[in-house]
Homo-oligomer: A and B are copies of this chain.
Amino acid sequence: MRKIKQVSIIGVGLIGGSIAKALKSKARAPRIVGYFRNKQKCRRAVKNKIVDKGFYSIEECVHNSDIVILCLPVTTIIKMLPRIKKCCSPRTIITDVGSTKSSIVSMANKLKLNFVGAHPLAGSEKSGAAFSTQALFSNSLVILTPTPKTKKESIRIIIALWKKAGARLRICSPTHHDAALAFTSHLPHIAAFSLVNALPISHRGYTASGFKDTTRIASSDPHLWSDILFNNKRAVLRATKSFLKETKKISGYIRSNKKSELLKQLKRSQRKRNNIH
């Protein structure tokens, strides 16, 4: 496997900053360079040694890099791919951390990029490099979504990169990723947003850990999440439909005093949840 000397991070926020920190904390770390739009953030990232060098030009930032990681919202990644194509050699491996995969991977394939789709299931409701940590991916799951067109060597290199950052890996198709994440991530966000929106202000003082844990992710960045939900529209609508059906089943049992049916429903949920660690 060829040696990785330089990695470009496009978008040094919570995820990009954490990748930089994780890689730099290990032996034989590659040189990490970052692309910034904001001069103050660039200076701060260099001063705090998150990146070895910062650039305000994408062309300069990706020049001579073996790997370019796009750490941006989904739609911004899609828009940026043609520009990245222009300034990267075919040897440069392009990868990303976008929360949905089909639309990104399909654009990358159309442009015939040397691309490996990736999605680290890490992060938090917080955003920005100030919250980045070297341990963010430690033992967390990263999903790679190669297609038959993806180069085998590129997959191996991206696997090695994430293992270096401490992550566990899982490989599936972009479509399977989007269908699964609609249920395991996008739908829980919709539920959290709606639980908070449904709460009358006068009842705000009666919340405890149950409400707080269930709705923690409602604090997530609205722009980022609106972008994710639209980019995975079909799968998200399918998951939401199934969730509404389950919720109505429970309220129907309560309304019509169907005690044994409700109990069965709650037992099923408890058993399933106890098997998720």
Interface of A with B (CB < 8 Å)? 121-122, 124, 140-141, 143, 170, 177, 179-181, 183-185, 187-223, 225-226, 229-230, 233, 236-237, 239-251, 254-255, 257, 259, 262-263, 265-270, 272-276
Contact = CB atoms under 8 A, between A and B. Distances in A.
Nearest to A246: B194
B265 A197 contact: yes
Main secondary structure of the interface of A (DSSP, over half): helix
Contact of A194 (B210, B213, B250, B259): B250
Q: Which 5 A-B pairs have the closest CB atoms?
A: A121-B208, A222-B266, A194-B246, A180-B206, A180-B203
B190 A251 contact: yes
B170 A184 contact: no
A244 B181 CA distance: 21
A52 to B, nearest CB: 30
Contact of A251 (B206, B240, B250): B240
A37 B118 CA distance: 55
A266 B193 contact: yes
A56 to B, nearest CB: 28
26 contacts: A121-B207, A122-B209, A141-B206, A180-B203, A184-B207, A184-B211, A190-B247, A192-B214, A193-B250, A195-B243, A196-B269, A197-B246, A199-B272, A210-B217, A213-B213, A214-B215, A215-B273, A219-B273, A222-B266, A225-B266, A226-B263, A226-B266, A230-B254, A237-B251, A237-B254, A243-B247
B210 A213 contact: no
A184 B213 contact: no
A270 B188 contact: no
Task: Among A205, A207, A233, A259, find the residue whose CB has the most chain B CB atoms closer than 10 A.
Answer: A207
